[in-house]
Structure 1
């Protein structure tokens, strides 16, 4: 008897054969037998532990028309219904939940933003009986005009009268110290966060782009919050 395939390939063929339905087993066995010369039917019958008649039946089916099922596309409207379609009240509940965590621009009622994350929103909806994924929350946000954006530095804050002079003074001192052979150290002081209509790291969900000053001058800030205080608040 012929030995057509190495043992590793035979094992893979057997695993595939054992996972098929009976009809598909016959067809698969028939196809493998056709690949081989004389003795192929006997070899495949022994490999798949099936009878020669099973393989011959499969060969006959391969020659018949309309034996193999054609690929069928899902009918329009088929499949599981999306939760947004099944639960028409979820959007109203969603808007009520984020209302307490929404701020806006008093000069532009269309500009709103929320400090909630999608995970936060998913948890709030779950408490109201809507167990949804973050992807569903993303669709709810999009349906209501909320898109994740960064603040846009588009507002001119103007220049400070002392802005240029301070850099001139720094350059002057640097030249003096360099001329005397002293080292120049650049020190990164403890970070402080300026409060006001200034740019921030990260993104939030907003209905419109939030415009902030194009420069973060201290004179444009309403105050300063130290990093230590920020850490205490987060804790």
Structure 2
């Protein structure tokens, strides 16, 4: 990291400038949220008592694969942000019993 110690290098245009780096997927992918909801529409359940409570059984990597079929390539990190933004809770751990049945922890 010697570059950071040399004053000439740090003062150069375009090096270590605020706002550097690529744009986020939210800025570059048109209709990202609409496509996200389109994928989740078939894989979302909710509470009959509280319509704000909903969840999906899909993992972020599965959502990414389904969005890929629609021509949208996004990272799991972006999908984690979308799930959090739209109040989808993280899935709970499920233990598989020796009999093949599932038991929620």
TM-score (norm 1): 0.35
| SS of residue matched to 1:110 | coil
**Which region of structure 1 is more displaced relative to structure 2, 80-89 or 101-110?**
80-89
Please name the residue that 1:177 is paired with.
none
Compute the displacement of 1:68 (Å): 5.0
Please name the residue that 2:72 is paired with.
130
Once residues 115 and 70 of structure 1 are traced to their aligned partners in structure 2, the CA distance between those partners, rounded to angstroms, is 50
Can you give the 5+ residue segments of structure 2 that lack an aligned partner in the other structure? Answer: 1-5
Work out whether 1:96 is the aligned partner of 2:38: yes
Once residues 119 and 70 of structure 1 are traced to their aligned partners in structure 2, the CA distance between those partners, rounded to angstroms, is 40
Which structure has more helix as a fraction of its residues? 1
Listed one character per residue, the Cα deviations across residues 154-176 of structure 1 (whole Å, up to 9, x for unaligned) are xxxxxxxxxxxxxxxxxxxxxxx
For the aligned residue pairs, the C-alpha RMSD in angstroms reads: 2.6
In the alignment of these two chains, the number of paired residues is: 93
Work out whether 1:200 is the aligned partner of 2:84: no
Work out whether 1:74 is the aligned partner of 2:19: no
Can you give the 5+ residue segments of structure 1 that lack an aligned partner in the other structure? Answer: 1-66, 152-189, 202-235
Change (3 A) 1:76 1:106: same
**Which region of structure 1 is more displaced relative to structure 2, 68-77 or 113-122?**
68-77
Listed one character per residue, the Cα deviations across residues 21-46 of structure 1 (whole Å, up to 9, x for unaligned) are xxxxxxxxxxxxxxxxxxxxxxxxxx
